Amino acid sequence: MQQRAWNLIFNSNKFKEAEGKDDGIIHCSIAVPHGKKNSHLGTVMMTQIRLENKVFIHASDIQFLFDKTIDKIIKFGADIVLASGPPLYLSHVGEEILAIAKKNIKRLSSKVETLVIDHHLLRSEKGLEWLRKINEEAKNKIITSADFMGLKPQLLEARREELYEVMPVPDSWHEDYKNNRVNSEEYLLQARESLDFFAY
């Protein structure tokens, strides 16, 4: 991640610092923790977009693990929030962390019309089950990105080991992908069609 960031900074003069800036439509937050406060994962920036009659916030990678981040989102006054849930698939994510995340998810969902949770959480099938249970207890909608788009969630990342076995890519595929000679679109379409039985 650090290498990608340095490549972007040093190989382009088109990027401007956005942290804390507001142009009247898009507001970029100051840095917030990438998960827990003071973790080795560093920080991320949230984005608030003011539409004609809605306020949307993209809060990727927050994982709902720091109360003050949730306070900031509530202060923004959002109608729809897209954020990353906690990574249930990691061994260090135990009941204490999940309790913090659940509390913050429920607190935020009581303040926004629609809470879309994805990314880390859906890297495991347990994540979707966990999310559905919280949604049953919540005041407002807590859904996945697929739900938001009217699609069935298909946890391709959670099933990647099986996908590589069922649909192996050629030996040169990753190198070709890195060099923009192939893209993942055809593979993803095939995966969604072939593995429909994996969907919930």
**What pTM was computed for the model?**
0.81
Give yes or no: residues 58 and 91 share one domain.
Answer: yes
Are 115 and 24 contained in the same domain? yes
Residues 36 and 81 grouped into a single domain: yes
| Residues 168 and 184 both lie in one domain | yes
Partners of 143 in the β-ladder:
116
Total of domains in the chain:
2
Q: Indicate if 147 and 57 belong to the same structural domain.
A: yes
Does 88 lie in the same domain as 167? no
List the one residue out of 113, 19, 115, 29 whose CA is nearest residue 101. 115
Same domain, 104 and 132: yes
Domain co-membership, 26 together with 122: yes
Which parts of the chain fold into alpha helices (H)?
2-10, 67-76, 95-109, 125-137, 145-148, 160-166, 173-178, 185-194
Last residue of a domain, one of 130, 151, 172: 151
- Give the pLDDT confidence of 65-117 residue by residue, as tens digits: 999 999 999 998 899 999 999 988 888 888 999 999 999 999 999 999 999 99
Residues 115, 198, single domain; the answer is: no
Residue-wise pLDDT for 26-75, tens only, equals 999 988 988 778 777 778 999 999 988 999 999 989 999 999 999 999 99
Query: Could you give the angle at which helices 95-109 and 67-76 cross, rounded to 10 degrees?
Result: 10
Q: For residue 91, tell me if it sits in a domain.
A: yes
- pLDDT one-digit tens code per residue, 14-29: 777 888 898 989 999 9
Q: Do residue 139 and residue 181 come from a single domain? A: no
Structural domain boundaries enclosing 74: 17-151
Of 161, 151, 57, the C-alpha closest to 108 is 57
pLDDT of residue 35: 75
Q: Are residues 74 and 128 in the same domain?
A: yes
Closest CA to 100 of 66, 129, 130, 127: 66
Residues 184, 117 within the same domain: no
